[in-house]
Amino acid sequence: MSDHATPGMTITCSEIVEVVTDYLEGEVDEAVRVEVEAHLALCPGCDAYLAQMRATLQVLGHVPVESLSEVARDDLLAAFHTFRPPAAGSP
Amino acid sequence: MAPEPSTPDVLPGRGAADRQTVPEQRAEAGGDPADAELVARLRAGDEAAFADIVDAWSPMLLRVARTFVSTDASAQEIVQETWLAVVKGLDRFEGRSSLRTWVFRILTNLGKTRGVREARSVPLSSLSPDDDGPTVDPSRFRGADDQWADNWTPAGAPQPWEPSPENSLLAAEIREQVAKALEGLPDRQRAVVSLRDVHGLSSAEVCDALDISPANQRVLLHRGRAQLRAVLEDYYRGRRVQGHE
């Protein structure tokens, strides 16, 4: 019974994993934030889950991205040159 | 052959800006001195400045473009048309949003037109069944009759990843796995996760570019990230996951 009043125990692990994005986005109420942090301090499983989520984001920051083809890029620079000739005095 | 973009139609007009549907709270909102300097350089015909933004922004523009059409080739064309419209319409940029946001809006306008023409209309604005339900296997949590109901079971609790993916000797292989899993996400989740976590756009920019609400943006981000974390977890547990059907 007293468990329900213990900080970190009013939220369950299954709720933590669903609120984690809002938490990382800073989109939770102050009361929820405090409760989440109390839970994380008590629960190695959820603490690991959050660390895994952060690690996932770190990997995402390094995945290769697709860019414009060289041909398309060259065409665009040529079009820019045509439509926006360098201002007088520029090299 | 793609028709020449009709510049007046695709440039975001005063009306759109006046609708006030876009919160003007993003860090790089209009009036940014760096933005003003960039626009001045572009207007003066500084080709290097143009090449810089083409190189920096095209990858994320391609991501957004791909939400409107079904092939990479079509997405490339939309991005090309967008940059042409930018070049031609630069004098009409009023600095009411950031330049990047303005470019994204041109892309969105062109993409919508193109998407309709290709009869591919992905309703990015609404959520689908992919976006519902728990993101972690419920069997990893204790049952309702347990004293610790809905908390991790001993076997279900996540274990720390050692070493962390980016510190691992396998970092390159892990990135490849995650990149593959990202491509396998449902369209809308893939778009949101890519723009936020790969390309680093703010949530406001993503909502604006994809025309979705902040709440939907968070749901799509949440589900996409959770799926990718799960893929990495399987990897760490030694079950090399392959693409699923």
Percentage above 70 pLDDT, chain B: 80
Confidence of residue B209 (pLDDT cuts 50, 70, 90): confident
> What count of CB pairs under 8 Å joins A to B?
168
What does the alpha-carbon distance between residue B187 and residue B67 come to, in Å, rounded to a whole number?
7
Contacts of A10 (CB under 8 A, 6+ apart): A4, A35
Across the interface, which of B43, B51, B182 has its CB nearest the CB of A77? B51
In B, which residues are within 8 Å of A59 by CB distance?
165-166, 171, 174-175, 178, 232
Strand segments, DSSP code E, in A1-91 are none
pLDDT, mean of residues A62-85: 94
Amino acid letter, residue A52: Q
* DSSP string of B89-134, one letter each residue: HGGG--SSS-HHHHHHHHHHHHHHHHHHHTT----TTS--GGG-S-
Predicted local confidence at residue B229, as pLDDT: 97
In A, which residues are within 8 Å of B135 by CB distance?
17-18
In B, which residues are within 8 Å of A60 by CB distance?
178, 182, 193, 197-198, 228
Model confidence at A2: pLDDT above 50: no
Model confidence at A4: pLDDT above 70: no
Minimal C-alpha gap between B111 and chain A (Å): 16
For the stretch B15-21, contacts whose Cβ atoms lie closer than 8 Å and that sit 24 or more positions apart, written own/partner, are: B16/B105, B17/B94, B17/B96, B17/B97
Predicted local confidence at residue B34, as pLDDT: 83
pTM of the model: 0.81
Closest CA to B103 of B122, B120, B87: B87
pLDDT, mean of residues B155-179: 91
Model confidence at B242: pLDDT above 80: no
- Mean pLDDT over the full length of chain B: 83
| Phi, psi dihedrals of residue B152, rounded to the nearest 5° | -55, 140
Which residue of chain B has the CA closest to A57? B197
Predicted local confidence at residue B114, as pLDDT: 85
pLDDT tens digits, one per residue of A46-55: 999 999 999 9
Across the interface, which of B159, B218, B232 has its CB nearest the CB of A48? B159
In B, which residues are within 8 Å of A14 by CB distance?
134, 136, 138, 141, 150-151
Question: Is the interface score ipTM higher than 0.90?
Answer: no
Predicted local confidence at residue B31, as pLDDT: 59
Across the interface, which of A55, A56, A77 has its CB nearest the CB of B47? A77
In B, which residues are within 8 Å of A21 by CB distance?
218, 221-222, 225-226
